Structure 1
Amino acid sequence: MANKAWLVRPYPSNINRINEFQTENIVAIGWPGIGDLTGKTRQDLKEILSKPPYSYTALVLGNAYATVDIFVNQMNKGDLVLTPDGDNIYLGVITSNYEFNPKVDDIDTGYSHQRTVEWHTKITRDDLSKALRSSLKVHRTAADLSHHYGEIKALCFNMPMPEAITTEPIKISYPLRPDFNISFEIPADITKEEAERLNTFISTLHFKD
């Protein structure tokens, strides 16, 4: 099985739960009120989130079920997890399968979809490579950071850093449509001028008015 590392933000139901993450040794996501998701496939999650209480459609639905699928189905015991909170970065190892905690399934504030974590260290954003800091800009509750696995492992366990970390390209995934992601790479040291040129180029790629 390939080595995996994941981003999980500490804001289930838009509430900062970093204290709960640390004291309860967990990571969690929101979307309360839809019950236990054990055994639910990606398609099941899409159908669940398209119905009340959320009734998502279009791009919002695509982003939501892709994120929940990561947390429920793609993470595994032994994977690394990175949780950013402001300038602080918390690193640990996932130690459980997906778990549903009905005690915190409040529809407004819940964080019932959980995994247990063995937290190893706390660092700051300045300790991260420029490439990894850039990857944390993704606007997702959970995201795959496995292309930074070597660096995250070194930081988590206080090991020597792999060589040429800063020269690795950054892999970008953008949900253009609910069922269509665009994936591409950019240099880790991309400049503002280069990003603006890339934006101009992409704006020309329309074939249908």
Structure 2
Amino acid sequence: MQNNSKQYFRLRAFPNLEDHYEDFIKNDFVALGWPATGNLVGKSKEEVRAALDIEIYKFKNKRALGLAVGFFMRLLSMKKGDIIVVPHDNKTITFLEVTSTYDYDEAFISDHMAHQVKTKFLKKISVSDIPLVFKKSIDTMATLISLNKYAELIEDLLQEKDTKNSGFSTHTFVSDSQSKKIIMTISENVDRNDIEMFINTLHI
């Protein structure tokens, strides 16, 4: 049985749109960008929103700002023992264990990595060793998402249990008109937020 208080996340190692994967591993932390917000320790959701909604960070729209606020609220919620999955180059995924709560390290402001949680390296595996449905979930473009619904699968991967045949029931939907055709296959554990996130990654 899983510890219900344990959280699971996927974080992209691209603060300021730069690849900081090696920095994360070398320094035993993960980080978000937007350092001009200052220290967010103890800040509420509305205070985080206000800190992000400043002249230097002109988000394209309210949705983009809302997504950024969500990223920070997840970072602020991390605690010792939580698991972070970090994909890299579409080839590997690295599992890290959180060893501290959120900290704002001014030494990393210029590197856009001031917003941190400390981590411990657990494991690195090839994406070929994970179920396709899990790979698709961690491939979304959002910076920091919850993977709580994959808790059991992640624990199996960490304990080296075979997950290649981990099955999820799927449903296929077809919209076929004279001029347009759309086919979508969706696993049963996908929710509306997953679909919206996927649609936002399409360049159409």
- Give the shorter-chain TM-score range: 0.7 to 0.9
Letter in 1 for 2:130: L
1:6-25 alignment runs, 5 A limit: 6-25=9-28
SS of 1:81 mapped into structure 2: strand
CA shift, 1:153, in A, is 1.6
**CA separation in 2, counterparts of 1:172 and 1:136?**
14
The answer to whether the Cα contact below 8 Å between 2:157 and 2:163 also exists between their aligned partners in 1 is: no
Matched, 1:66 2:70: yes
Secondary structure at the aligned position of 2:36 is classed as coil
Report what 2:168 is aligned to. Answer: 167
Matched, 1:46 2:49: yes
CA contact (8 A) 1:95 1:117 kept: yes
Deviation at 1:156, TM superposition (A): 2.2
Is the counterpart of residue 30 in structure 1 residue 33 in structure 2? yes
CA offset digits 1:126-181 (Å, max 9, x no partner): 111112111113221100001111111222243x3479732163334539xxxxx9
Is the counterpart of residue 125 in structure 1 residue 147 in structure 2?
no
Percent identity over the alignment is 21
Q: CA–CA distance in 1 between the matches of 2:26 and 2:159?
A: 20
3-state DSSP of counterpart to 2:35? coil
- After TM superposition, the runs of 4+ consecutive aligned structure 1 residues lying more than 6 A away are none
- Residue 35 and residue 173 in structure 1: after superposition, are their counterparts in 2 closer, same or farther (change >3 A)? farther
Within the candidate set 68, 76, 79, 2:79 is matched to: 76
Structure 1 residue 34, shift from structure 2 partner: 1.3
Secondary structure of the structure 2 residue equivalent to 1:55:
coil
Once the two structures are superposed, the pairs formed by residues 140-179 of structure 1 within 5 Å of their partners are 140-158=142-160, 160-161=161-162, 165-167=166-168, 169-174=188-193
Query: What is the rounded CA distance, in whole Å, between the counterparts of 1:173 and 1:113 in structure 2?
Result: 29
Retained in 1: the 8 A contact 2:168–2:189?
A: no
**Structure 1 residues 31, 173: closer, same or farther in 2, change over 3 A?**
farther
Is contact 1:88-1:122 (8 Å) kept?
Answer: yes
TM-score, normalization by structure 2: 0.77
Q: Provide the rounded CA distance (Å) in 1 between the counterparts of 2:80 and 2:192.
A: 24
Letter in 2 for 1:59: R
CA distance in 1, matches of 2:112, 2:138: 24
RMSD of equivalent CA atoms: 2.4
Q: 1:61 & 1:89 partners in 2: Cα distance?
A: 27
Using the size of structure 1 for normalisation, the TM-score is 0.76
Counterpart secondary structure, 1:123: strand
Are the aligned partners of 1:10 and 1:83 in contact in 2 as well (CA < 8 Å)?
A: yes
What amino acid sits opposite 2:8 in the alignment? A
Q: Deviations over 1:60-104 (max 9, x none)?
A: 1111111111112x2221111100001111012111000111011
**Residue aligned with 1:39, SS:** coil
Is the Cα–Cα contact under 8 Å of residues 103 and 112 in structure 1 kept in the other structure? yes
